[in-house]
A and B are shown apart, each in its own frame.
Chain A
Amino acid sequence: MTEKNLHGENEGDLWEVFVQSETGAPHEHAGSVHAADAEMALQNARDVYARRGTPVSIWVVPSQYITATTPADAQPFFDPADDKVYRHPQFYKIPKAVKGF
């Protein structure tokens, strides 16, 4: 947590912020904050991203711990999801006489 980057900043000090804006809603990525530790990250996240509305919950994660897909690999990585027609309801034939399926 104390390695410094080229600009003398601590590597661990960038956090991604996810806010649940109302009960039942998913947490949504709101942006990022700088903070020396998790408690300060939560407080900064509240001050920056929760000044309006009725926020229910905030998650903060050090940015370095997020693993993400890369745009260059997106097509092959997601390829299997799009061409299996049998995953879609329209593929299946239901007799017209059956109502409200």
Chain B
Amino acid sequence: MNPIMLVFDNDRFAELIRFVVTTAGFAVEQLNDPLALYEKVKEINPPLIIMDVFLKHIDGLYLIERLYAVKEFAQIPVLIVSSRNEPLAVFDALERGAADYLAAPINEDMLIEKVKKLLKAN
């Protein structure tokens, strides 16, 4: 299986998620520069993207919107894991087509459960 793609520009957050997901036995490919998302998605064709929406230089929801505007990417599920924990953020992400939303602080079991569910559905 192709590696799961992680899109975060907050290192500590990314490290934690990377640790949890790799420990559960999945290969991951980390992308530190969210602006390079499309090139990278094309290159590795991930079965799942885990990303933050609260990024430093670009809006995560805008990234999703543009990603899903491209037909060949429309099937890739996106799991949002974000420190932005407010009701509007969750609805906004789902409205733009994100598959699921997990707000920080992160529950490790729940994260793995969601990852497995999304990979299975795909």
Do the two chains belong together in a single complex?
no
